[in-house]
Amino acid sequence: MQKMTSRQRTTKTFSFEQTDRPPIDLMESNVWPALRSYFYNKYDFSNDEQILTHMHADFRWLYTGSPEKMNKHEFDADGADEAGSYTDDVERPLTNAHSAGDVIKMFSPDASQTVVADFEGAKARWPEFPFILVPYWMPIFSGACEAFGMQEAMVKMHLEREVFKAYAQIQSDYSVGVFKKNVEAGARDYCDYAWIGDDFAGETGLLLSPDMWRELIKPYLKKTIRYLKDAGFKVLFHSCGAVREVIPDLIDMGVDALLVIQTSAQGMVVEELAQHYGGKIVFFGAIDAQHLLTFGSPDDIRKEVIRNYRAFENCGGYVVANSHTCMADIKGENIDEMSTAAFGLPGIAR
């Protein structure tokens, strides 16, 4: 099959059509220090773009958000502020919020201060690549756990739902506002995709019941998704852990791709996901960072890439990528092998 550009390849993948090879990505274009050290030392690279090019990465991620987060030199879209976020050593703005009115008074993120992505600069730098617009972490469930404290957030969800809903409404409005400012700055002239995320699952299941998720999370998440879909974006949704119970809900809301696909979590077996949901939603990631990329060999990684490829061979809609980022013990040679193995595979389609 004739070689495709990254834009052609990713567009066809999201339409479940034939491609020349599976798309490849370094999750969230995130090159963390240990990985950078590996590539710099082995290949004498001097910048992250050389790493992405070497890996045949098919996406470029454009970041947007509040000034303080945009000014950080090292970032991680999957929880830029998560270090210590569930412990007692961080400031919690809603610790003393006991009513919906308290939440409204004490929590007021300002989307008007959003620093928009540099669309023109990105287009000049990467004229042939598709762009993913990604804000910093603006989740509802895990955001509430950070703002109230996890234990108090769970109490609010069970016993004081109007307080939790007040938070969720403000956070949802803020999320829409951040994207709206980028759209007004011309985001849709440059970006085909938009990323949103929340972490509401552990390794064995959701951290709240599916019914509670549908009452307290889904309506507010849906608002952001609807705005993005109406604006013309394909929507990528990030959630770690065992999220299988709500995949049909995500599809129903219009989510186009699910990442990171934590295959070590219960129910997140790629063959089963492909069987039940293949051709309905794109699966993005699934090269395990907890065990394989950290403790496995390059041969193990090659086998995992091929296994995932075969799972989606008859339905399409799969992007090869690492399941998580910023883990210092991930072996650079395994990330290297992940892209090498994927680059050598033929395309897949429904």
Residue with the two structure tokens 């809903």? 165
Which CB contacts under 8 angstroms, 24+ apart, belong to 203-206?
A: 203/241, 203/242, 203/262, 203/264, 203/265, 203/266, 204/242, 204/265, 204/266, 205/242, 205/245, 205/266, 205/267, 206/242, 206/243, 206/245, 206/246
How far is the C-alpha of 186 from the C-alpha of 182, rounded, in Å? 6
Backbone angles phi, psi at 64, to 5 degrees: -140, 160
Task: State both tokens at 347.
Answer: 């395309």
Residue 89 has pLDDT above 90, yes or no: no
Across the chain, mean pLDDT equals 92
Q: 79 or 124: whose pLDDT is higher?
A: 124
Mean pLDDT in residue range 213-228: 98
Run of H or E including 218: helix 218-231
Q: Which tens digits make up the pLDDT trace of 20-74?
A: 999 999 998 899 999 999 999 999 999 999 999 999 999 999 999 888 776 654 4
Of 7-21, 95-109, 175-189, 318-332, the one with minimum mean pLDDT is 318-332
Taking a C-beta distance cutoff of 8 angstroms, is the pair 55, 24 a contact? yes
pLDDT of residue 78: 45
Domain architecture of the chain: domains with CATH: 1-59+285-350 (no CATH), 65-259 (3.20.20.210)
> Measuring CA to CA, which residue among 39, 103, 32 is closest to residue 74?
32
